[in-house]
Amino acid sequence: MTAPVLLSFPFTGRWMAQNSPADGVPSHGTELFATAYAIDFVAVDERGRTAPRSWRSAFGTEAPDIFLAFGVDVLAPLAGTVVSIHDGEEDHAARRSPFALAAYALTQWERVRGGAGAIAGNHVVIADSGRYVLVAHLRRGSIDVRRGEHVDVGRRIAACGNSGNSTEPHVHLQAMDAADPAVARGIPIAFTTADGPVLPRSREPFTV
């Protein structure tokens, strides 16, 4: 098995993994677009909620800006060179309602046919030593790095959004063996901490 790429968490605060290779590979149920080892992170409060509940969360769609993650700074998880940027995708309505989620699922293949931009939404790819790390679902217009720019770990690269194939604002992170997720293969990842490398498990909140 390929050794994991060691990363720093791309945010601060209280977060939780919704999909993690610690619980199963492929973590997203597919290896398409190099997502085999990808992780989705959502910001949560002390009760583990990503946003307050209302009648809309039970029956309809919700504005993305009520979610804790929306607009939060997203940081470079490794030092490297920015090799790809995609911006301009809208931050669409969020969906927690079973009814809204069911309707959204029916359009999944349409987004897959739209390619990496339709799936990852606004995103940045950072390269280092033949490894490529994609940070996805960024807020439209928030990306503040340029293609070809070198970034250090912890450098602000954008804000969390709800663009692309996303049901609520979150940070999607994956490592790949090529810059283009349409042809790349996923690479395992882990995160550096004072206690050594870790891989967060799904539904277990943690603070950075």
Other Cβ atoms closer than 10 A to 2: 12
pLDDT at 111 over 80: no
What pLDDT sits at residue 53? 82
Out of 46-55, 104-113, 129-138, give the one with best mean pLDDT.
Answer: 129-138
* pLDDT digit string, tens, across residues 122-180: 999 999 999 999 999 999 999 999 999 999 999 999 999 999 999 999 999 999 999 99
Per the domain annotation, does 206 fall within a domain? no
Give the CATH number for residue 73: 2.70.70.10
Per the domain annotation, does 51 fall within a domain? yes
Per the domain annotation, does 200 fall within a domain? no
pLDDT at 202 over 70: yes
Mean pLDDT, all residues of the chain: 91
Per the domain annotation, does 32 fall within a domain? yes
Other Cβ atoms closer than 10 A to 169: 28
Q: Furthest-apart CA pair in the chain: how many Å?
A: 49
Per the domain annotation, does 24 fall within a domain? yes
Domain count of the fold of the chain: 1
Domain that holds residue 65: 5-194
What pLDDT sits at residue 97? 72
pLDDT at 109 over 70: no
Sign of the dihedral defined by the CA atoms of residues 91, 96, 100, 104, in that order:
positive
What pLDDT sits at residue 113? 67
More confident residue, 29 or 68: 68
Cβ-based neighbours of 208, under 8 Å, separated by 6 or more: 9, 11, 12, 13, 15
Which tokens hold the place of 65?
């800006």
Per the domain annotation, does 208 fall within a domain? no
CA–CA dist 177, 193 (Å, integer): 24
pLDDT at 49 over 70: yes
pLDDT at 106 over 90: no
Per the domain annotation, does 20 fall within a domain? yes
* pLDDT digit string, tens, across residues 74-102: 999 999 999 999 999 999 999 887 766 66
Per the domain annotation, does 199 fall within a domain? no
More confident residue, 108 or 35: 35
